[in-house]
Amino acid sequence: MKRGDLTRLFLLAGLLCLALSPAWAQDPQKPRQNPPPTVQEEQPEYTEEEYDAYDKAVNEPDLAKRADLLIAFMDKYPKSKLQSYIVSAYENLSYEFQSKQQWENLISLCERWTKIAPDDLRTIAYIAEAASKAGNSQKYLEYALQIFAVKPSAESALDITQTYKKIGDEAKHLEWKHKLFGYPEYAGDFMLRFDFVQKYAAEKNLSKAAEYAQLTLKSLDVAKKPEALAEADWKKHTRTVRRNCHWFIAMNHYEDKQYKQVIRALEEALKAEIFDGAFYYIGMSQWKLDQIEEAQVSFAAAELLKGEFESQAKEHMESLYRALHNNTLIGVDKVYRKAQARLDVVKTASVK
């Protein structure tokens, strides 16, 4: 038999064995692992020096040293035919660092790798995860923002938002909270909007507080009770938020002298929670609209609730009553009876 025929026979035998062998087994969560190459005897695609460098890199038992050798190979042989095998070795090493929670080593390896493959999202994701686990918020943001620019998502937007809050960057935190408004996943997250209500109310910016109060109310309408929260607690919490939203909307209208809108907003607030401030400013608005008898009843209701507006409400009610009754309080009890009846109606409605 000729030498060439013998060579072809060996090749056919090898291909047959390969076809009958089981598929390459690997953990589906791990990076793909290519079988190692061999030095070619005829028309080699790489030199023995390249192969030795490759072999030394992928078989180095020390993980940190292996990382150095893999990077060194890519730097020295940028056009080598062995690069695909080095890439596989890099992916497996990254997975090992991640599995062993060696976050600093993972960051170091992957940051050096980004100089070779700057657009590799998997590498960037490794760095972001490792930085987060290592508590390096600034580095996490650096790489998380790169991922978000290519693959934006509600989850990553929330992570970025919370990280800005963590590092105390209030301007960026608010900017990213605003981005969350646009995701359907957070349509019912009314506290996301209510945080802005509280912020602007504290700054005495009633116009902005009222703007976000409207957004909060819309979010409340589609909000769903968390499974872990009791029904009674959920109702109490949502009623308080509704009450406060309508209150700030009313106070903005009051500042703008839109007294009819004040009354409407406070009537809505009373559906959520009965409080003296609502009756007091309803009374003030009715007074401004020259609805004197109605204002007396509203002031009396505020007084009967014995809250922070009690003394002011009593003073205004008596002043208005005296002006209509020859400077006396004779028969004023009828105003209090009307006020109590008004409170009873509101209390009944608020229970529903």
Does 7 reside within a domain? no
Q: Is residue 303 part of a domain?
A: yes
The pLDDT value recorded for residue 34 is 56
Torsion of CA 272, 237, 224, 199, to 10 degrees: 100
The letter for the amino acid at 118 is P
Question: What CATH code is carried by the domain that includes residue 62?
Answer: 1.25.40.10
**Shared-domain flag, residues 298 and 326:** yes
Q: Residue 206 has which token pair?
A: 């009633």
Does 333 share its domain with 257?
no
Triad 49, 54, 55: Cα angle to 5°: 100
In a domain, 168, yes or no: no
For position 46, what pLDDT does the model report?
84
Going by C-alpha positions, the residue among 339, 274, 259, 331 that lies closest to residue 304 is: 339
Q: How many whole angstroms separate alpha carbon 278 and alpha carbon 309?
A: 10
pLDDT for position 91: 94
CB 173 within 8 A of CB 192: no
Please report, in tens digits, the pLDDT of each residue of the chain (352 residues total). 333 333 333 333 333 333 333 332 233 345 555 566 655 555 458 899 999 999 999 999 999 999 999 999 999 999 899 999 999 999 999 999 999 999 999 999 999 999 999 999 999 999 999 999 999 999 999 999 999 999 999 999 999 999 999 999 999 999 999 999 999 999 999 999 999 999 999 999 999 999 999 999 999 999 999 999 999 999 999 999 999 999 999 999 999 999 999 999 999 999 999 999 999 999 999 999 999 999 999 999 999 999 999 999 999 999 999 999 999 999 999 999 999 999 999 988 775 5
Domain assignment of residue 170, yes or no: no
Report if residue 206 sits inside a domain.
Answer: yes
Q: What is the CATH number of the domain that holds 245?
A: 1.25.40
Task: Assess whether 287 and 230 both reside in one domain.
Answer: no
Instruction: Collect all residues with Cβ–Cβ distance below 8 Å to 191 and sequence separation of at least 6.
Output: 241
User: In this structure, is the dihedral angle defined by the CA atoms of residues 67, 73, 79 and 80, taken in order, positive or negative?
Assistant: negative
Residue 155 vs residues 129, 148, 152, 162, 183: alpha-carbon distances, Å:
14, 10, 9, 11, 10
> What's the total number of domains in the chain?
3
- The CA-based angle 42-46-48, given to 5 degrees, is 85
Last residue within a domain, chosen from 271, 286, 309: 271
Q: Which domain holds residue 131?
A: 50-151
Same domain, 293 and 246: no
Q: Would you tell me the crossing angle of helices 154-167 and 137-150 to the nearest 10 degrees?
A: 150
256 and 301 inside one domain: no
Is the same domain home to 116 and 194?
Answer: no
- Identify the pLDDT of residue 348: 84
For residues 265 and 273, give the distance between their C-alpha atoms in angstroms, rounded to a whole number: 13
- The whole-number pLDDT of residue 7 equals 34
Residues 199 and 247 in one domain: yes
**The pLDDT of residue 29:** 43
Name the domain boundary from 271, 293, 312: 271
pLDDT at 5: 39
